[in-house]
Structure formats: structure tokens, C-alpha cells
């Protein structure tokens, strides 16, 4: 009987986790990739799959060291099995969200109560903020899941050790998830869980437990998993450490000049608005008819400190992106669920409003996906080649003063594209945009960068070759470049267009020159 109950509990837990995954993944196929973020990160994963180089993340064939490789590894592996489409490309984010929700469920079942655990997970997975984050192909949800699991495992190990229960495997798991968090997005994978854990230990007067962070076997696990890739990159590219650690971590955190600068209070309305309708329940516990305020438990302190630490940490830098605070949502879901249950303890009639809130929140999640799908599926957001038009294996693609992150994936390009523009340091290295990304990437492999990043004056040299070239640029590019008269317009929309240029079989360096007045004009065939 005892074994049967254990098997039943495992089965129920497995079904709950599977249900969480299916709910989060159900609509991940619905909308196309959003530019630039999803196009950028999925494009790097596609380049990894296309080139066969699973060690060095590459943007347009050039080393891209803004972030570590875990997202790209998972996304590329999923696309290799399921095909190059939106659903497998977003699998890392879905997995990260599932890990966060499953970890919250298991932790609260053990250290809180079953009703609170169930409602907390329902609140979490039906928050529009969390649901959309789970289906957004960037690194925030993946590292958020790793951070959540690290915090919960470390707290579980601490509470178990105090009660004389087995704790070492949980603590080893915390170090393992921290190492995956570092491989997902860098140092925050361990810095943020450590911050939450230390503050929690101090607030609950268990400072001796903070020494669990120094557990030697845990650091062996952490270094064995997290360090090999970083060591390999530093050995291959001597400038890697300065760029990845100093520039992408400390300078981006402390300095100005980066995109998305917002005021200190930016995340407060963001969280409140994107977690509706659940956020309204956060103050419900104050209206408990008994009028008592129970003493905060260790779990209450953990969740409050966890949520507050994440929001304060990411509010400090000037550059702020909405997805940065996704790791704060699991503890926020617990706090909302606790407030709602506290209000319900004085009135059984509140169970129906909670059910209606959950139903409404689920509908809001689906509506948000539908809205984004309709918004990003407008013709101006993606260029499609007409039926029968394909980029041949020997063809080359040149993007004109722009980089369309998602096109290599959508077109299934067999090799990187050339990008024309002003690639001097003053023009390309100062602005925090696609130019700087490609410019920085080209500095790690200068020879390859010179082949792919084409100064405007070198366009004739790039196009006057025997093979055809596909030109992608603003829809009014022909007004700026008269030599477009030699190319055939293939596709266009309100923002961008595609032309095909047949090239020059004789490698005539003057193939783009306009004919003189009175001479016949030739146009490349379609």
C-alpha cells in the first residue's frame, strides 16, 4: 500500500508537470518570430545548426559573444529534430518556464500546503507576463527557470538540513542549476540566487546556513559544468573575457549609452499591468474578516525577499528590458495566491471569484498570443519569396544597410549573408544596434568579417561576380542606388524589398554602372 501511494504521488506529479508544459507550449507555434530579439537569438541557433559549429555562437557567421550558448544549444537541437520552425525554436523558453513552475509546485507541496502550491502554480502559468515569456525566444525565461530552481533547491536543502533530513542531493542540484543559469545568460545565473539566499538567511536569522554556498562538492559540480565553454572561448579568442565579462556584464549594468533606458520605477507598472487580472488579488488578504495578520513563515520570507531582490537589482541600471524581471514572477505568484487564500478563509464564496479569475487570466493569455500573432504577421514584418523563387546553393545574399535577423532561417540560407554599410569604428561601433553587434562580432575574426561586412564602396566588387545575388534592403533603395535598374524586383512590402541581380559572368567590375544617355538599357532577367 505504501509503495502504491508513492507511485500514485509520482504519477500525479508527472501529470501535473506534463500539463504545465502542454499549456505553456500550446500556442508557441501560432505567431512568427518577432524582430529583432527572437530573430537574433533563433538566427544564432540556426547558424549553429547550419554550420555544424556547436561551440562558437555566431551571428551571420561571426562570433557572437553577447550571451553564453545554452539557449542556442537547446534551440538548435530541437530544430534539428523537429524542423526549423517557430515551435522548436522557442523550446528553451518553454522548458525554462516549465522548470520554474514545476519547481514552485514541488517546493510548496513540501514546505507550505497543497492548496497554496496548486493555486500558486495556477496563478503563475496564467499570468500573461509569464505565459508570453514562456513563448518568447530569448534568454530571459530560460535563465529565469534556472534561477528559480536554484533558489528553491538551496532553500529546500537548508530546511531539510535543519530537520535532519537528506539535503546534499538538493544542494548539489542547486549548484547544477546555477551552472546552467550561467551558461544561459552569464553571471546573473549564480549572482541572483546567491543574493536571494544570503538575504533570506540573514532575515530569518540562519546566517550559518549561508555557509552552504561554500560547500566544496557543489563548486566542483558548478565548475565542471559551467567553466569548460568559457575556458575554450578564452583560449580561442584572447579578447573574449574582456568583451563578455567586462563589457557585456559590468559596463552594460553600470554605464549609460545602451538602448531601453527607463526610470527607476519602470518595473512597478510593468509587473502590475502584465500580471492582471491576478495582481488585483495581492491586497486581498488585508480584507480577511478575522482581522489578524499571521506571522510570516520561512517560505513567506523567502518569496518576499526573492521577488523584491530581483526587482531592485534590475531597477538599478539605466538600461531595462521587460523580460529581465521574469525571475520575480514565481515568488509573486505565491504571494498573490497566499493573499487570495487568506481572504477566502473568512468567506467560502470567494472560491468562485478565484475560479473566474483563473479562467479570465487564461483567456487573456490566449488573447495576447493572438494579438501578437496578428500584429507581427503583417506584411511589413517578414519578406517571403514568391512561389518558385529560391536562393540557390551558389547564390549570394547582400543586405543593404540593414540586417534582417530572421531571413536566413526563413529562407533556409546555406551560408552567411553579406551586409553593406559604413563599417568604420565611428559609425558602426558607437550605437547599440545591429551594426554594433556585427561590428563587434567581426573584430573576433577580422578576415571573415572583412568578407561579410562590405563597405558601400565595395558593392561593385561584391556583386560583379558570375553567380546571382539577392539584394535585400529598404523598399526605396532604388532611389538611393541607381544601379538597381540592373536588378529585378522579386518581392516588396511597405518597409523592405528583395531584388535579384544576375551578376557578371566575365567579372566586369563596371557591371553596375548606368548606361550613358542614348544607349540601350539592359536589365537582369528574373
Q: How many CA atoms lie within 13 A of 62 on its CB side?
A: 26
- 395-400-405-406 Cα dihedral, nearest 10 degrees: -60
Left if phi > 0, otherwise alpha if psi is -120 to 50, otherwise beta: which for 67?
beta
- 350-330-151-37 Cα dihedral, nearest 10 degrees: 180
Q: Cell digits for 194?
A: 546567491
Residue 344 has a pLDDT of 74
* Cβ burial, residue 273 (10 Å; 0-12/13-18/19+): exposed
In sequence order, which residues have a C-beta less than 8 Å from that of residue 242 and are 6 or more positions away? none
SS3 of residue 102 by DSSP = helix
Residue 253 has a pLDDT of 61
- The count of other CB atoms within 10 Å of the CB of residue 148 is 31
In sequence order, which residues have a C-beta less than 8 Å from that of residue 216 and are 6 or more positions away? none
The one-digit pLDDT tens for each residue of the chain (526 residues) are 455 777 888 888 899 999 999 999 999 988 888 878 899 999 999 999 999 999 999 999 999 999 999 999 999 999 999 998 899 999 999 999 999 999 999 999 999 989 999 999 999 999 999 999 999 999 999 999 999 999 999 999 999 999 999 999 999 999 999 999 999 999 999 999 999 999 999 999 998 999 999 999 999 999 999 999 999 999 999 999 999 988 777 766 665 555 677 888 899 999 999 999 999 898 775 545 455 566 889 999 999 999 999 999 999 888 788 999 999 999 999 999 999 988 876 555 558 888 999 999 999 999 999 998 887 655 445 678 888 888 888 899 999 988 999 899 989 899 999 999 889 877 776 677 899 999 999 999 999 999 999 998 888 888 999 999 999 988 888 787 788 888 888 888 878 889 999 888 878 777 887 555 444 444 433 3
Residue 294 has a pLDDT of 67
Evaluate whether 73 touches 46 at the Cβ level (below 8 Å): no
- The count of other CB atoms within 10 Å of the CB of residue 58 is 24
Degrees (nearest 5) of the Cα angle 320, 326, 331?
Answer: 130
- 126-132-135-139 Cα dihedral, nearest 10 degrees: -120
d(Cα 190, Cα 355) in Å, to the nearest integer? 37
User: Facing residues of 470 across strands?
Assistant: 397, 500
Residue 289 has a pLDDT of 46
Cis bond leading into 407, ω under 30°? no
Q: How many CA atoms lie within 13 A of 523 on its CB side?
A: 10
Q: What count of residues does the chain have? A: 526
d(Cα 229, Cα 285) in Å, to the nearest integer? 48
In sequence order, which residues have a C-beta less than 8 Å from that of residue 331 and are 6 or more positions away? 302, 303, 304, 306, 307
Question: What is the pTM (predicted TM-score) of this model?
Answer: 0.92
* Cβ burial, residue 330 (10 Å; 0-12/13-18/19+): buried
C-alpha distances (whole Å) from 337 to each of 330, 331, 344, 351 are 11, 10, 10, 12
In sequence order, which residues have a C-beta less than 8 Å from that of residue 222 and are 6 or more positions away? 175, 176, 178, 179, 190
Residue 493 has a pLDDT of 80
Q: Which residue has the cell 540573514?
A: 202
d(Cα 98, Cα 325) in Å, to the nearest integer? 17
Residue 343 has a pLDDT of 80
* Cβ burial, residue 517 (10 Å; 0-12/13-18/19+): exposed
β-pair type (469-474, 496-501): antiparallel
Query: SS in 3 state form for 107-146?
Result: HHHHHCCHHHHHHHHHHHHCCHHHHHHHCCCCCHHHHHHH
Amino acid at each position: 500500500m505504501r509503495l502504491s501511494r508513492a507511485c500514485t504521488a509520482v504519477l500525479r506529479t508527472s501529470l501535473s508537470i506534463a500539463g504545465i508544459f502542454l499549456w505553456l507550449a500550446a500556442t508557441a507555434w501560432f505567431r512568427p518570430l518577432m524582430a529583432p530579439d527572437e530573430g537574433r537569438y533563433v538566427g544564432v541557433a540556426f547558424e549553429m545548426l547550419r554550420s555544424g559549429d556547436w561551440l562558437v555562437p555566431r551571428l551571420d557567421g561571426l562570433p557572437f559573444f553577447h550571451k553564453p550558448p545554452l539557449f542556442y544549444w537547446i534551440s538548435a537541437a530541437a530544430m534539428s529534430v523537429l524542423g526549423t520552425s517557430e515551435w522548436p525554436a522557442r523550446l528553451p523558453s518553454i522548458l525554462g518556464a516549465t522548470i520554474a513552475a514545476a519547481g514552485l509546485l514541488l517546493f510548496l507541496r513540501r514546505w507550505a500546503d497543497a492548496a497554496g502550491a496548486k493555486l500558486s502554480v495556477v496563478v503563475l502559468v496564467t499570468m500573461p507576463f509569464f505565459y508570453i515569456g514562456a513563448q518568447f525566444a530569448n534568454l530571459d525565461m530560460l535563465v529565469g527557470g534556472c534561477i528559480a530552481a536554484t533558489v528553491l533547491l538551496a532553500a529546500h536543502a537548508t530546511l531539510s538540513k535543519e530537520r535532519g533530513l537528506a539535503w546534499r542531493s538538493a544542494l548539489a542540484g542547486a549548484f547544477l542549476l546555477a551552472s546552467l543559469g550561467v551558461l544561459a545568460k552569464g553571471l546573473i545565473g549564480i549572482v541572483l540566487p546567491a543574493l536571494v539566499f544570503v538575504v533570506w538567511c540573514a532575515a530569518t536569522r540562519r546566517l550559518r546556513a549561508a555557509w552552504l554556498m561554500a560547500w566544496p562538492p557543489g563548486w566542483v559540480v558548478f565548475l565542471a559544468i559551467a567553466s569548460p565553454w568559457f575556458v575554450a572561448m578564452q583560449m580561442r579568442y584572447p579578447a573574449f573575457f574582456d568583451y563578455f565579462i567586462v563589457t557585456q556584464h559590468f559596463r552594460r549594468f553600470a554605464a549609460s549609452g545602451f538602448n531601453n533606458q527607463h526610470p527607476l520605477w519602470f518595473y512597478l507598472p510593468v509587473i502590475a499591468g502584465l500580471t492582471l487580472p491576478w495582481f488585483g488579488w495581492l491586497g486581498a488578504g488585508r480584507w480577511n474578516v478575522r482581522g489578524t495578520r499571521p506571522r510570516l513563515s520561512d517560505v513567506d520570507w523567502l518569496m518576499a525577499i526573492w521577488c523584491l531582490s530581483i526587482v531592485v537589482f534590475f531597477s538599478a541600471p539605466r538600461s531595462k528590458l521587460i523580460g529581465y524581471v521574469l525571475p520575480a514572477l514565481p515568488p509573486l505568484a505565491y504571494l498573490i495566491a497566499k493573499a487570495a487564500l487568506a481572504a477566502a478563509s473568512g468567506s467560502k464564496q470567494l472560491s468562485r471569484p478565484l475560479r473566474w479569475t483563473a479562467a479570465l487570466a487564461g483567456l487573456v493569455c490566449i488573447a495576447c498570443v493572438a494579438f501578437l500573432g496578428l500584429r507581427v504577421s503583417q506584411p511589413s514584418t517578414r519578406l517571403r519569396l514568391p512561389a518558385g523563387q529560391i536562393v540557390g546553393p551558389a547564390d549570394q545574399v547582400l543586405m543593404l544597410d540593414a540586417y534582417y535577423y530572421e531571413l536566413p532561417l526563413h529562407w533556409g540560407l546555406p551560408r552567411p549573408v553579406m551586409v553593406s554599410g559604413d563599417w568604420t569604428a565611428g559609425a558602426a561601433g558607437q550605437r547599440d544596434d545591429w551594426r554594433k553587434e556585427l561590428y563587434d562580432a567581426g573584430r573576433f575574426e577580422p578576415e571573415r568579417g572583412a568578407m561579410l561586412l562590405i563597405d558601400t564602396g565595395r558593392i561593385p566588387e561584391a556583386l560583379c561576380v558570375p553567380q546571382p545575388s539577392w539584394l535585400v534592403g529598404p523598399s526605396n533603395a532604388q532611389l538611393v542606388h541607381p544601379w538597381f535598374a540592373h536588378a529585378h524586383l522579386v518581392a516588396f512590402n511597405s518597409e523592405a524589398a528583395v531584388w535579384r541581380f544576375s551578376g557578371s559572368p566575365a567579372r566586369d567590375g563596371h557591371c553596375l554602372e548606368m548606361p550613358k544617355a542614348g544607349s540601350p538599357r539592359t536589365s537582369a532577367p528574373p
